[in-house]
Structure 1
Amino acid sequence: MSLQIENLQVRFGSSQILKDIQLSFNERKLYAIIGPSGCGKTTLLKSLNRTLELERGYLISGKVKLYGEDIYEHRDTSLIRQRIGLVFQTPVALPLSIKENVLFGVRYFGERNKTKLNEICEKCLQQAGLWEEVKDKLNNPAKELSGGQIQRLSIARVLAVSPEVLLLDEPCSNLDPAATQMIEELLKGLAKQLTIILVTHNLFQAKRVADVTTFLLNGQVVEVGETETLFLNPQKQETKDFISGLTY
């Protein structure tokens, strides 16, 4: 088990955003988290790599264990964010070249060997399915890339620091069908190497790519199950209503 959440609670002011979250995630699996807008999906992801504490007003309690070790007991949050990488909904191209976008985190963590840096850049762009498209223009500004390419570049940048868990928040929400298909194929391939947790509003996407799906509602876990089983035979009425489009 790579990641385990125990009694996670998140409050913002007087509002409780997440309530008693208990979840487990295994290695080399792709997990989807679904639920209506405002149910706490993004807050959950940010809690898993301690990005949430960068925002003022949030109070977090409970445990998030990475291979048995509570990440909230670590002083070095940058190390936690290296081991549990997060790709945000809006793809980010840093005001740097394509190559330096990929290597940004690697350089931050101290790698200076040019041969190693070049190897990391090529490997991660290959993993992100972007190498053939950009190999002849690595020194061009990353902002010249398309939206789908920038999303894959963002994934390559996270992969460059060798995370053990990859979190993605609606990575395809602003992409066309062709770019979405490329991202989904990429994620299915990466799930053979590490734990992936994907937040998505797209129920069809969850059905296409996820091994296990969690339904979140009002900050609480309603149901967790193998994806095919959860969609074909949900056990909770709230889940049935949500996936049939009757409510929320």
Structure 2
Amino acid sequence: MTLQVENLQVKFGSNEILKDINLSFSAQKLHAIIGPSGCGKTTLLKSLNRTLEMEKGYIIRGKVKLCGENIYEQRDAAMIRRKIGLVFQTPVALPLSIKENVLFAVRYLGERNKIKLQEICESCLQQAGLWEEVKDKLNRPANELSGGQIQRLSIARALAVSPEVLLLDEPCSNLDPASTQVIEGLLRKLATQLTIILVTHNLFQAKRIADVTTLLMNGQVIETGETTAFFNKPEQPATRDFISGLSW
């Protein structure tokens, strides 16, 4: 298992948001996390790469192990966030060129070799399925791109620092069907190279592209399993109700 979550608890003041979460995320798999709004999905993602601790008021207990090492025992949180990248729901284009958006974190980490930087830029844009669309305008402002292109640019930027795990929070929620299809195809390809953990409200999306699906409700894991079995033969009544729309 690439990433293991053991007895993870998250509180904000007296409000318990996540309650004893135990999950395993395998390498070269696409994991979908589904559940109603407010159930803790985004909080879980932010807990998996120590982004949540940047926000005041949260108390985190338990373990998140990356390749056996508890990330909360590591002093260098920035390195953890490099290994476990997070792409947010709203696509972000930094006020820079397309090229410099991809290379932002790489330059921050000290890479100065121009040839290496060019190789990283092209490779990550290729991985994100964006190279052919932007290769002739790399120095143009990134905010000239469409919403779907900016989302793929955000993914390329996360890939530039060679993460072992990629977290995505509703990456298609603001996109049209064509852009959504492109992103889904991209994620399936990326899942052959690293661990992908995707939060989605779209049950059809989870069913289409996920290898493993987990249902989170009220801060607790209700059920997790191989996606086909999860949707066709759920074990828990709450899962059956949720995927049939009865609890919406």
Give the shorter-chain TM-score range.
over 0.9
1:193 paired residue number: 193
Percent identical pairs in the alignment equals 79
Superposition pairs of residues 123-202 of structure 1, within 5 angstroms: 123-202=123-202
2:99 aligned partner, one-letter code: K
For 1:208, give the aligned amino acid: R
- The question of 1:102 aligning with 2:102 is answered yes
Aligned length: 248
Where 2:162 maps in the other structure, the secondary structure is coil
For residues 82 and 65 of structure 1, what CA distance do their matches in structure 2 show? 15
Deviation >4 Å, runs of 4+: none
Q: Structure 1: how far apart are the matches of 2:109 and 2:25? A: 27
How big is the shift at 1:75?
A: 1.2
Alignment TM-score, normalising by the size of structure 2: 1.00
C-alpha separation in 1, matches of 2:140 and 2:74: 38
Give the letter for the 1:194 counterpart.
Answer: L
Residues of 2 paired with 1:216 and 1:67: CA distance?
24
Mapped partners of 1:75, 1:108: distance in 2: 19
Unaligned runs of 5+ in 2: none
- In the alignment, the residues of structure 2 paired with residue 217 and residue 2 of structure 1 have an alpha-carbon distance, to the nearest angstrom, of 24
**Deviation of residue 91 (structure 1)?**
0.5
Counterpart residue type for residue 99 of structure 1: K
2:246 maps to 1:246 = yes
AA at the equivalent of 2:134: V
Q: Report the alpha carbon displacement of residue 79 of structure 1 after superposing the two structures with TM.
A: 0.2
Q: Distance in 1 between matches of 2:153 and 2:214?
A: 27
Deviations 1:4-49 (A, max 9, x none): 0000000001100000000001110000000000000000000000
Deviation sequence 1:170-226 (CA, Å, 0-9, x none): 000000000000000000000000000000000000000000000000000000010
Residue in 2 that maps onto 1:30: 30
TM-score (norm 1): 1.00
Distance 2:37 2:177 in 1: 22
Give the match's secondary structure for 1:16.
Answer: strand
Which AA in structure 2 matches 1:22?
N
Equivalence for 2:55: 55
Tell me which residue corresponds to 1:220: 220
Q: CA RMSD in A?
A: 0.4
| Matches of 2:98 and 2:76, distance apart in 1 | 28
Q: Name the aligned partner's letter for residue 75 of structure 1.
A: R
Q: How many Å apart are 1:124 and its aligned residue?
A: 0.2
- Structure 2 match to 1:112: 112
SS of equivalent to 2:75:
coil
Matched, 1:85 2:93: no
